[in-house]
Structure 1
């Protein structure tokens, strides 16, 4: 398996302003998907379940506070979000956010909410299915979104290198093993649910050197 250096791990959780920020879910994940047909719904939930299992985390049918805490929206135009009931209450500043994403011609966006310990409380995933996005194989698209929702990554973590790889023998899309290792290490029960110090990356690196990372 390819090994990431401490510096490469740190870069995965470094924000645009240079600060370090890591967070994982502090509660079981209860997903819901809007705007897709039944077969895509099953694919999204299957991808989330696969990544959650890898992390050693838990799924749930419902969240006691929110009902669902991982909400995935598929749509064609950003303005459609303004018509979603109660979304503006869950995401403050929704109107200017939609305007900014529309003007940037963005195709995806994730918004997180956090609990008192800094762990992920909820995640909202928005996917604008323009022509380019529609060309991406659904299996890879939903797996990539599950990976990016399981942790709070840095702003440019996967801007140059996808977290996924295609197996040449079968053509199947899989999670790159080094990224899978980082996710599993991040959910180690001895690790904090959130961290803002780059020394956290060294602790992740140390866990990747053990039997589970080999």
Structure 2
């Protein structure tokens, strides 16, 4: 990928550049799925962790679980979950906006003092569209979108995934970008677009 393509993936709709990766091991928990789907989700997360060289953990010392995925049928279910109002600021207002937009997914990130990701909460309303997506595709897509702070415009036109035969895989250029993003020589957070040049250079070194 060229630097301008990388820059676009982290340039938000307000024109600002914002990049962040996880700064601590990922301790996942998944709600609202059966055991078979749980295995698929954790498999996708493990695959991406192997790709990036990042670590997983059973628990996070501060938060317990720092990567939570919630699967449900209706946004109205969220306020009924114990403690959800503490997890998500202004929960009722957010739900109203998501219902109005007929959204089927939402991600909420929290950050350490140095700007690296310390937690991610993924909410998936399993409407007709998401229900038609295979568990493997949905899991891999959500994990990829949760291991970096991408632009709010990233992947609107092009999915980070591709189909190879009967298997869904990461697009090779996105896989290379993920590896570069977790290179220890690069910062865990960046707000200057010159960071995209460094990512492009790391991809070049890896190849």
Both proteins in one fold, TM over 0.5: yes
Establish whether residue 27 from structure 1 lines up as the match of residue 27 from structure 2: no
Establish whether residue 187 from structure 1 lines up as the match of residue 186 from structure 2: no
Give the alignment partner of residue 199 of structure 1, picking from 183, 194, 202: 194
Q: What is the CA-CA distance between 1:21 and the residue it aligns to?
A: 0.2
Which whole-Å CA distance do the structure 2 matches of 1:188 and 1:133 have between them?
33
Write out aligned runs for 1:61-210 (5 A). 61-168=58-165, 171-210=166-205
Q: What is the CA-CA distance between 1:138 and the residue it aligns to?
A: 1.0
Unaligned runs of 5+ in 2: none
- Paired residue secondary structure (1:209): helix
> 1:50-99: CA deviations, max 9, x gaps?
11111110000001111100000000000111111112112111110011
- Paired residue secondary structure (1:45): helix
Which whole-Å CA distance do the structure 1 matches of 2:4 and 2:199 have between them?
11
- Paired residue secondary structure (1:82): helix
CA RMSD of aligned residues (A): 0.7
Q: Which residue of 2 aligns with 1:8?
A: 5
Please report the TM-score for the alignment, with normalisation by the length of structure 1. Answer: 0.95
Give 4+ residue runs of structure 1 displaced > 2 Å after superposition: none
Please report the TM-score for the alignment, with normalisation by the length of structure 2. Answer: 0.98
- Paired residue secondary structure (2:94): helix
